[in-house]
């Protein structure tokens, strides 16, 4: 299992990367940590003509703190978040999420931006960042735009990114001191894909009570008003929500997603 | 035979550290993929993406025709044909490259070369094969009852072989107070050693000999098979198994790839190499374990077994593989199902069916894992009917120690052991009362507690009579050891079996130490090379410690006699009075002694000093060994487990796991524990994680290790091993084969515990693995039944 | 197309020209002959290829040599002078933490990372950190103990004695009777928090159904015998979906439309026509893009029609040359009068199979779901086109416009898709 031949470029700046992408007419693939793309290349499932390695772009490794939020460059690794090398403005949620992605050797290379762009419904950041009302910072030939993460993933393995755009980073609002969260991920083995992900966030100072159902078949399902989960678990309404998230037809999936939400809520109130 | 325990701390019974560790710890082991040859080409195969089809055309890519070979190109090469000697067996022809028809996904169709593996894969990707698709035979029982197609057109059905162990059951059926009937299945699995197969082949012009490095556990058998298919005499083939990264049965087979590469190396006069990748291992090459049982147990009111009636179907895949054939498992099922339990009547019909899946190989435990699962899960149902603790039903039915040696209902000859004691010890160590109390109280987190036991016996190192009876084309006879005390007093040993994790370099050195008093550090073992070692059927059936161990001991005794004879002459003592200890030979409490090196030096360099009647073969010998009774050793164990079941999400956590085991005399307890731990991990995989699913078209649905889940460190519970050591009366030191046992009992023990936890919900699982999906589905189904 | 790279491997400067597709592991093994790094899966799961890249463990199978320009790489061969590694090697041997030795180099590199990064890791943490390194021989017992041992020795502050030779050394005899080693703290292995089980309260006293077969064993169909639960999700290929809709046009017109195979074919998203095209045969190309995977199925479809019953069948097959995967599909349709001839009821059955590498992944829990959506999309396009055809000018016939190419996003339309998805999410949920 060796990849088909591909060309390789490692641009030094965003403009260079965008230019390469624009000139590739869809046959190029951006690679950051390569932990998702690598297996697909090896299995010959992905056969791009050009791989654009964006790890050489300084801006993608930057962290900046501004206006009640923090911006993480796309190439920040899961391990850096897990280890607290990056300031955690989510009262431990992001550290917990990062620490449970795949395996350490993968977390050392895998990046938050790469994971978002890969848009795997079962991926952790894809599921949890919408809970935090994060935003995606996108660079393209026409400059920069910002999209709510909630709308960044449009479906499984599909995002709002145009073929010549690059995700520069994610903006994460800071939680207030009174904020509480509960997160639950069910997988058959540590490091395996999640069968269900649920997370609940209550931040009264910012008037937030949100929940998310992740590891769906498509984009994660955000519950804007999650009081029926956070305050007295309303099992019937949760069931309806699970159905609405598109994971309720199969009894097994219905059960595990329902349970995941229940346990996330329990942890919230622990 | 009394149990032998070394007093030196280095012989039998010592947890000697392994001699083989150093090279692996420094990354200097040498596996097939680590070997390169100048001018070597890499091979990739075109494999069938379809389970069942006629090949209508194969198009080689234009301009690359000289880098692609199909079956027609391999002139004179014969198919692999593994024929069982049992009556009624239908043979299959497995062509090294598919000829007219493909019968499973992954079957080799064309062979392609490149300077690198990537280039070889580039060529393979350009080969186009035209197919006429046929319905796929996928369902195990359906393959014989409602065949959608014939895997082998000329057979008329899809049955390799049917066997029957018949008995009259009418009376029992009428009189039995308890009758439980269950449909029990074990999933198809992949053995998944960490290293896959790999072959490097080179034609050595000087010797007119084909030299093959292969990641194999039975190199001599591979040579025999290669000779059959290639038409070369056996001496023209040398097979070398270098370091091998785990096997578990997976590497006990002659591969189509081996034949292809052998032909190619000879044809191209260039070294060629093929390294199996994980995708090939999972989707294309041999699987194991897929059994289906319709089993009925008859018992009296107290749970005493009266009879077993069973119909078992083993899914043997598309081809009979060499050398174990398609029928080893089913034939075993019929003869080993009753195991160590006593009963009046026994009837068992078995089928080995052909399907459009890869052929099967005997995986660690072979048929025993399935048999143990079927019987032990059904026995728990008997216990529930009888209102008894499951372990009580075992105690009521097991063979008693005073009955040893014991011939059971299928005439299996049990050599020794105290089976009830193993159960008692396991149950005591687990503390059943404690868990029952906790079960009653209930868990704070809502999970349900369950406990389960299972008992098995592992017939190992079984020899000529047994294998002849099973119809296997390879029947083992005497196992040989070549031994030489070299001029510097080092001992060289050569055996035809092979070690790929079993630690033979260490344990056989301990055996030599026991017999010859030589420091294990001064013993060197050569194995896995047909040119250097005596013929052997290889490593399988937990036989090495009994057979190779016996051969080494016998050879060393031979050497010892000759050493004493020479030393007696040189020391002026009677050879009978001499002792061998600490690398010396001499009289106890006397300065009349000399080193083995001095004796050896005399034989090789100063023959003028030798006694006139010295043995003319000197300090070099080849000796064969066969156990006094060759029906095998019976090691056994009781596994007892406590688990917690999370019925909301379907997860099973193992809280405590006890193994009370009797492997006879332990040569190296540390190594024995390692084998049991490793086997148990695989058994836990069978119970809870591992499954090679096929869809209705015969497409394998697990092609990566993210689909096929192997247990990791987090899936392994703390394991507690309790040893009993009842020596076998038939082996050199009383040792028994123990390599497979760990993998046999866990599925039964764990599923019994799950059923124990869920019994009051009306849930009973009878299929492996117990995945969250299966568990929740069963819980839901039981709930629906209760409500209805 | 080769690229020049310069990097440090085990402390030595190395420069080379490499193909971009060359895995770092193959570069180390085949070019530098550092064969201690083993390949076990080549998709990042097993951990046998774990090396140290810029000071931290990484998979060398899914890293490419070209991406390591300027990097510092350390393989198992580069730790001969390392004290921590020496302690681990000693402990691995003492605790019998290796059998076949194949996973050992990767295992040691991960173990060293645990010991140095998490100097107080307990058993549970050690096990979790080892999740990305598979061992098939040892059951991890010796591995976990060895790491615990090294951690304990290092936290004791006592500088552990490292024996240079592991050969022939004797393990203390105490170990084998029973595991006396107490796990200092039995870790809370319940990873689920505190579920207040609802099911627990429903412990009705019911027993498993137990069948007593009457008569002979052959009566396998005896009812009540507990059957294995069909646990795997329905993987039945030949997934068939039924859809029914009504359209306000008479049967004759709709029947006429179904006679134009090219137009019907184009209702499948991503389909374009190529080569031959008659009313009962078309050559097609279906392009599907799913994340980084692009599949282009080329094949043909043939139609068989029965005017007497106003029903017909379209059968097609196609192959994606890149992945050697093939798909077969069948569309059956039947038309019936409705509203006294003013409208037509259209019954459509769509079935698919997929074979080859793209099909060979498990956990396709959404087969039915996806197939439904695919059929829905097809039917939607069919309806739209029927209306267009029925009402619009004949010109449509001459130049049928293909349905928008599928770029798995807003609408996910392929059966292969769910297989790929199962794989991707399992492997790459990172």
Q: What percent of chain B has pLDDT over 70?
A: 99
Mean pLDDT along residues B149-161: 97
Cβ–Cβ contacts within 10 Å for residue C405, how many?
A: 13
In the block, residue with structure tokens 């016998």: B554
Say how far apart CA B147 and CA A41 lie, in whole Å: 39
Mean pLDDT of all residues in B85-95: 94
Instruction: Kindly determine whether residue B764 and residue C172, on different chains, have CB atoms separated by under 8 Å.
Output: no
Q: C235 CA to chain B: closest CA distance, Å?
A: 5
Domain B21-28+478-625 coded CATH 3.20.20.70: no
Q: Tell me: the pLDDT tens digits for A161-194?
A: 998 999 999 999 999 999 999 999 999 999 988 9
User: Which residues of chain A neighbour B780 with C-beta distances below 8 Å?
Assistant: 251, 255
Residues in chain A: 270
Strands (E), C222-270: 239-247
Contact in structure between B143 and B353 (CB atoms under 8 Å):
yes
Q: pLDDT (tens digit, 9 = 90+) per residue, B330-343?
A: 989 999 999 999 99
pLDDT tier at A157 (50, 70, 90 boundaries)?
Answer: confident
pLDDT tens for each residue of B613-633 = 999 999 999 999 999 899 999
Nearest to A105 among C132, C423, C428 (CB): C132
B279 vs A44: CB contact, 8 Å cut-off?
A: no
DSSP run (H or E) holding C5: strand C3-9
- The per-residue pLDDT for B6 is 55
Kindly report the average pLDDT of chain B as a whole number: 96
Q: What pLDDT is stored for residue A269 in this prediction? A: 78
Q: Residue A175 carries which DSSP code?
A: P
Do the chains contact at A44 and B776, CB–CB below 8 Å?
no
* CA pair distance B92, B385, nearest whole angstrom: 45
Give the right CATH number for C83-159 from 1.10.150.120, 3.40.50.1980, 1.10.540.10, 3.60.20.10. 1.10.150.120
What confidence tens digit (pLDDT) does each residue in C188-207 have? 333 233 333 333 333 333 33
Contact status of A103 with chain C (Cβ, < 8 Å): yes
Q: In chain C, whose CA is at the least distance from the CA of A263?
A: C195
The string of pLDDT tens digits covering residues B524-557 is 999 999 999 999 999 999 999 999 999 999 999 9
Q: How confident is the model at residue B363, as a pLDDT?
A: 96
Distance (Å, rounded) from C-alpha A254 to C-alpha A260? 10
Tell me which H or E stretch contains B393: helix B390-397
What residue of B is the nearest CA neighbor of A3? B118
Residues B780, A39: C-beta atoms closer than 8 Å = no
A180-268 is a CATH 3.30.390.50 domain: yes
CB within 8 Å of B285: residues ≥ 6 apart: B106, B197, B250, B255, B276, B358
Across chain A, where does the E strand assignment appear?
A: 7-9, 28-31, 50-53, 63-66, 69-73, 135-140, 143-148, 153-155, 158-159, 166-173, 180-186, 196-203, 208-214, 221-223
**Cα A82 off chain centre by:** 14
Q: What is residue C430's predicted lDDT score, i.e. its pLDDT?
A: 43
pLDDT at position C178 is 35
Q: C131-160: per-residue pLDDT in tens? A: 999 999 999 999 999 999 999 999 875 544
Domain boundaries, chain B: 21-28+478-625, 291-465+629-787
A7-54: CATH topology is 3.30.43
Under DSSP, the state recorded for B71 is G
- Kindly list the partner chains of chain B, i.e. chains with 3 or more CB atom pairs below 8 Å: A, C
What's this model's pTM, rounded to 2 decimal places? 0.91
- C4, burial (CB in 10 Å: exposed 0-12, middle 13-18, buried 19+): exposed
- Residue B276: the pLDDT is 98
Comparing alpha-carbon positions, the chain B residue that sits nearest to C108 is B25
**Residue ranges of domains in chain C:** 3-78, 83-159, 239-424
Confidence band, pLDDT 50/70/90 cuts, at residue A26: confident
Q: Phi and psi dihedrals of C71, rounded to 5?
A: -85, 165
pLDDT in tens, C40-50: 999 999 999 99
The DSSP symbol for C173 reads: G
Burial C350-375 (b: 16+ CB within 10 A, else e): bbbbbbbbbbbbbbbbbbbbbbbbbb
Q: What pLDDT is attached to residue C244?
A: 85
Integer CA distances (angstroms), A43 to A38, B539, C61, C420, in order = 9, 33, 11, 12
Instruction: Give the residue-averaged pLDDT of C100-109.
Output: 98
CA-closest candidate to residue B536, choices B549, B520, B521: B549
How do residues C221-262 score in pLDDT, each as one tens digit?
333 454 444 443 333 445 677 888 888 888 998 899 888 888
pLDDT tens, residue by residue, C337-353: 998 888 899 898 888 77
| Domain limits, CATH 3.30.43.10, in chain A | 7-54
- The alpha carbon of residue A148 is apart from the nearest alpha carbon of chain C, in Å, by 17
CA distance B330 to C344: 58
Six-digit token string for A93: 């949620």
**pLDDT of residue B18 exceeding 60:** yes
What per-residue confidence (pLDDT) applies to C249?
A: 86
CA A60 to chain centre: 16
Cβ neighbors of A237 (< 8 A, separation 6 or more) are A228
C404 or B700, higher pLDDT? B700
Give pLDDT, residue C222: 36
CATH architecture entry for B291-465+629-787: 2-Layer Sandwich (3.30)
The C-alpha atoms of residue B120 and residue C390 are separated, in whole angstroms, by 54
pLDDT at B15: 97
Average pLDDT over residues B387-404: 98
ipTM over 0.85: yes
Structure tokens at C417: 């898709």
Coil, helix or strand at residue B331? helix
Contact map slice: B 706-745 vs A, CB within 8 A: 706, 709, 711-712, 714-715
DSSP assigned state of C58: E
At C239 the pLDDT is 63
C 33-72 residues inside an 8 A Cβ radius of B: 33-43, 45-46, 48
Mean pLDDT, chain A, integer: 95
Q: Which of residues 343-402 of C touch B (CB under 8 A)?
A: 353-357, 359-364
pLDDT at C374: 60
High-pLDDT (> 70) share of chain C, %? 67
**Residue B492 backbone class (left: φ over 0; alpha: ψ -120 to 50; beta: rest):** beta
CA B27 to chain C, closest CA, distance in angstroms equals: 4
Q: Report the percent of chain C where pLDDT is more than 90.
A: 42
* Residues A114, C424: Cα–Cα separation, whole Å: 14
> Residue B151, SS3?
coil
Rounded to the nearest angstrom, the minimum Cα separation between A134 and chain B is: 30
Q: What is the pLDDT of residue C371?
A: 54
Residues whose CB falls within 8 Å of the CB of residue B172, separated by 6 or more in sequence, listed in order: B298, B306, B307, B344, B345
Burial class (CB in 10 A: 0-12, 13-18, 19+), A127: buried
Best probe of the B interface among C127, C179, C228, by most B CBs < 10 A, is C228
Contact A29 C428 (CB under 8 A): no
Fold that domain A61-173 belongs to in CATH: 3.30.465
Residues of chain C with C-beta less than 8 angstroms from the C-beta of A106: 44, 59, 132, 430
CATH annotation of C3-78: 3.10.20.30
Q: For residues B558 and B560, what is the distance between their CA atoms, to the nearest angstrom?
A: 5
Q: Which fold has domain C239-424?
A: Alpha-D-Glucose-1,6-Bisphosphate; Chain A, domain 4 (3.30.530)
B295 close to B333: Cβ distance less than 8 angstroms: no
The ranges of chain A annotated as CATH 3.30.465.10 are 61-173
pLDDT of A156 higher than 90: no
- pLDDT at position C328 over 90: no
Percent of chain A with pLDDT over 70: 100
Which pLDDT score, from 0 to 100, does residue A77 have?
98
Tokens of C112: 């060293």
- Asked if B447 and B644 count as a contact pair (C-beta separation under 8 A), the reply is yes
With tokens 């004797």, the residue in question is C170
- Per DSSP bridges, beta strands B633-646 and B651-662 are antiparallel
Could you say which of B278, B709, B776 has the minimum Cβ distance to residue A189?
Answer: B709
Residue for token pair 């019929």: B334
Q: Are B536 and B495 in contact (CB under 8 A)?
A: yes
Tokens 């034939």 belong to B331
Provide the 8-state DSSP code for B16: B
User: Closest to A34 (Cβ–Cβ): which among C63, C128, C193?
Assistant: C63
What does the alpha-carbon distance between residue B449 and residue B437 come to, in Å, rounded to a whole number?
Answer: 10
Q: Do B674 and C99 touch (CB under 8 A)?
A: yes
Judge whether B21-28+478-625 and B291-465+629-787 match in fold. yes
């Amino acid at each position: 299992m060796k990849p088909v031949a591909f060309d390789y470029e490692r641009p030094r700046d965003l403009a260079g990367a965008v230019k390469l992408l624009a000139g590739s007419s869809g046959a190029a693939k951006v690679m950051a940590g390569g932990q998702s793309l690598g297996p697909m290349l090896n299995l010959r499932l992905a056969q791009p003509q050009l791989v654009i390695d964006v790890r050489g772009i300084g801006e993608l490794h930057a962290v900046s703190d501004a206006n009640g939020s923090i911006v993480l460059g796309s190439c920040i690794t899961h391990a850096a978040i897990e280890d607290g090398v990056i300031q955690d403005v989510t009262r431990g949620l992001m550290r917990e999420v990062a620490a449970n992605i795949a395996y350490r050797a993968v977390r050392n290379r895998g990046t938050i931006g790469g994971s978002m762009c890969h848009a795997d419904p079962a991926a952790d950041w894809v599921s949890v960042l919408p809970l935090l009302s994060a935003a995606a910072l996108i660079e393209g030939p026409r400059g920069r735009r910002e999209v709510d993460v909630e709308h960044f993933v449009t479906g499984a393995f599909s995002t709002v990114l145009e073929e010549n755009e690059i995700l520069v980073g994610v903006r994460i609002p800071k939680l207030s001191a009174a904020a509480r969260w509960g997160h639950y991920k069910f997988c058959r083995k540590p490091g395996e894909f999640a069968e269900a992900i649920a997370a609940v966030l209550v931040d009264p100072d910012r008037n937030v009570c949100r929940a998310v159902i992740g590891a769906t078949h498509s984009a994660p399902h955000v519950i804007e008003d999650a009081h029926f989960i956070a305050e007295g678990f309303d099992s019937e309404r949760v069931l309806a929500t699970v159905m609405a998230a598109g994971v309720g037809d199969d009894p097994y999936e219905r059960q595990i997603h329902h349970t995941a939400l229940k346990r996330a809520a329990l942890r919230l109130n622990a | 035979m009394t149990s032998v325990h070394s007093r030196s701390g280095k012989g039998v019974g010592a947890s000697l550290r392994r001699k083989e560790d150093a090279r692996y710890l420094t990354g200097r082991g040498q596996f097939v993929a680590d070997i390169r040859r100048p001018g070597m080409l890499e091979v990739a195969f075109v494999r069938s993406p379809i389970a069942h089809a006629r090949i209508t055309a194969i198009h080689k890519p234009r301009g690359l025709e000289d880098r692609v070979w199909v079956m027609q190109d391999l002139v004179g090469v014969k198919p692999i044909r593994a024929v069982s000697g049992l009556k009624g067996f239908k043979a299959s022809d497995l062509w090294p490259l598919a000829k007219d028809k493909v019968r499973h996904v992954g079957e080799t169709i064309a062979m392609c070369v490149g300077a690198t593996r990537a280039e070889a894969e580039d060529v393979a990707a350009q080969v186009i094969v035209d197919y006429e698709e046929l319905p796929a035979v996928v369902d195990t029982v359906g393959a014989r009852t409602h065949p959608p197609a014939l895997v082998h057109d000329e057979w008329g059905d899809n049955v390799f072989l049917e066997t029957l162990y018949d008995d009259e059951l009418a009376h029992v059926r009428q009189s039995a107070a308890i009758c439980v009937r269950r449909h029990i299945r074990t999933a198809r699995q992949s053995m998944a050693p960490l290293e896959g197969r790999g072959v490097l082949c080179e034609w050595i012009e000087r010797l007119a000999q084909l030299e093959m490095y292969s990641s194999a556990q039975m190199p001599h058998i591979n040579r025999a098979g290669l000779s059959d298919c290639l038409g070369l005499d056996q001496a023209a083939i040398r097979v070398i198994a270098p370091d091998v990264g785990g096997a578990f049965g997976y590497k006990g087979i002659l591969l189509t790839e081996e034949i292809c590469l052998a032909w190619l190396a000879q044809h191209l006069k260039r070294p060629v190499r093929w390294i199996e990748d994980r995708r090939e291992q999972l989707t294309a090459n041999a699987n194991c374990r897929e059994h289906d049982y319709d089993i009925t147990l008859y018992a009296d009111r107290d749970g005493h077994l009266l009879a077993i009636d069973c119909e078992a179907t083993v899914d043997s895949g598309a081809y009979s593989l060499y050398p174990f054939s398609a029928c080893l498992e089913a034939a075993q099922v019929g003869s080993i199902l009753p195991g160590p339990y006593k009963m009046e009547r026994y009837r068992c019909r078995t089928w080995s069916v052909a399907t459009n899946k890869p052929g099967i190989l005997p995986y660690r435990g072979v048929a025993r894992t399935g048999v143990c699962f079927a019987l032990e899960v059904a026995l728990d149902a008997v216990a529930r009917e009888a209102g008894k603790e499951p372990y009580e039903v075992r105690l009521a039915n097991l063979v008693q120690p005073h009955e040893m040696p014991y011939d059971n209902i299928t005439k299996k000859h049990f050599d020794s052991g105290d089976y009830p004691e193993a159960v008692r010890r396991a149950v005591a160590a687990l503390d059943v009362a404690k868990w029952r109390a906790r079960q009653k109280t209930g868990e704070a987190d809502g999970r349900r507690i369950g406990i389960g036991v299972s008992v098995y016996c592992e017939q190992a190192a079984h020899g000529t009579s047994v294998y002849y009876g099973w119809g296997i084309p390879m029947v083992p006879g005497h196992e040989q050891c070549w031994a030489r005390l070299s001029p510097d007093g080092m001992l060289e040993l050569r055996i035809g079996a092979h070690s790929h994790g079993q630690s033979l370099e260490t344990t056989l050195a301990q055996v030599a130490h026991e017999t010859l008093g030589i420091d294990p550090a001064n013993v060197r073992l050569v194995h896995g090379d047909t040119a250097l070692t005596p013929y052997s059927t290889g490593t399988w059936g937990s036989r090495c410690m009994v057979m190779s161990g016996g051969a080494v001991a016998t050879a060393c005794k031979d050497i010892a006699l000759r050493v004493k004879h020479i030393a007696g002459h040189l020391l002026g003592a009677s050879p009978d009075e001499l002792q061998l200890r600490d690398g010396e030979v001499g009289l106890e409490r006397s300065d009349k002694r000399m080193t083995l090196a001095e004796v050896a030096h005399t034989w090789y360099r100063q023959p003028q000093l030798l006694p006139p009647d010295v043995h003319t073969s000197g300090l070099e010998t080849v000796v064969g060994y066969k156990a006094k009774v060759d029906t095998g050793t019976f090691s056994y164990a009781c596994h007892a487990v406590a688990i917690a079941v999370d019925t909301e999400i379907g997860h099973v956590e193992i809280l405590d796991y006890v193994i009370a085991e009797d492997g006879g005399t332990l040569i190296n307890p540390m190594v024995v524990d390692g084998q049991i731990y490793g086997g148990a991990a695989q058994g836990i995989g069978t119970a809870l994680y591992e499954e090679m699913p096929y869809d209705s078209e015969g497409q394998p649905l697990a092609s990566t290790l993210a689909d096929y889940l192997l247990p990791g460190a987090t899936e392994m519970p703390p394991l507690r091993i309790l040893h009993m050591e009842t020596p076998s009366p038939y082996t050199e030191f009383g040792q028994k084969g123990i390599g497979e046992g760990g993998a046999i009992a866990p599925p039964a023990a764990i599923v019994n515990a799950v059923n124990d936890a869920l019994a009051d919900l009306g849930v009973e699982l009878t299929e492996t693995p117990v995945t969250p999906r299966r568990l929740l589905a069963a819980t839901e189904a039981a709930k629906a039944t209760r409500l209805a | 197309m080769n690229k020049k790279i310069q990097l440090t491997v085990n402390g030595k400067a190395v420069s080379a020209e490499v193909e971009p597709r060359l895995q770092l592991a193959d570069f180390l093994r085949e070019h530098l002959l550092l064969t201690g790094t083993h390949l076990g899966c080549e998709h990042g799961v097993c951990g046998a290829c774990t090396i140290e890249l810029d000071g931290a463990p990484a998979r060398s199978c899914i890293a490419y040599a070209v991406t390591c320009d300027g990097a510092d790489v350390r393989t198992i061969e580069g730790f001969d002078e390392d004290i921590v590694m020496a302690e681990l090697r000693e402990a691995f041997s003492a605790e019998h933490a290796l059998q076949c030795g194949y996973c050992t180099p990767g295992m040691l590199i991960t173990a060293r990372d645990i010991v140095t990064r998490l100097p107080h890791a307990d058993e549970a943490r050690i096990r979790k950190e080892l999740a990305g390194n598979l061992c098939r021989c040892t059951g991890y017992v010796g591995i976990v103990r060895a790491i615990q041992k090294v951690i304990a020795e290092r936290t004791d502050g006592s500088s552990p004695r490292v024996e240079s030779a592991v050969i022939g050394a004797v393990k203390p005899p105490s170990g084998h009777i029973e595991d006396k080693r107490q796990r200092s703290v039995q870790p809370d292995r319940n990873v689920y928090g505190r579920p207040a089980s609802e099911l627990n309260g429903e412990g009705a006293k019911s027993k498993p159904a137990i069948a007593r077969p009457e008569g002979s064993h052959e009566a396998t169909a005896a009812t009540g015998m507990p059957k294995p639960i069909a646990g795997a999700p329905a993987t039945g290929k030949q997934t068939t979906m039924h859809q029914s809709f009504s359209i306000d046009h008479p049967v004759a017109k709709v029947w006429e439309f179904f006679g134009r195979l090219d137009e019907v074919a184009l209702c499948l998203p991503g389909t374009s026509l190529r080569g031959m095209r008659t009313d009962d045969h078309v050559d097609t190309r279906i392009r599907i893009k799913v994340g980084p995977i692009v599949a282009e199925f080329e094949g043909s479809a043939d139609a068989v029609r029965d005017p007497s019953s106003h029903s017909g069948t379209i059968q097609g097959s196609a192959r994606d040359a890149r992945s050697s995967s093939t798909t077969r599909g069948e569309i059956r349709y039947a038309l019936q009068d409705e509203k006294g001839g003013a409208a037509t009821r259209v019954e459509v059955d769509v079935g698919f199979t997929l074979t080859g590498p793209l099909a060979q992944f498990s956990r396709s829990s959404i087969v039915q779901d996806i197939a439904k959506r695919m059929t829905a999309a097809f039917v939607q396009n069919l309806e739209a086109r029927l209306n267009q055809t029925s009402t619009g000018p004949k010109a449509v016939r001459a130049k049928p416009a293909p349905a928008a190419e599928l770029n798995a996003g807003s609408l996910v339309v392929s059966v292969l898709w769910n297989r790929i998805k199962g794989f991707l999410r399992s492997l790459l949920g990172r």
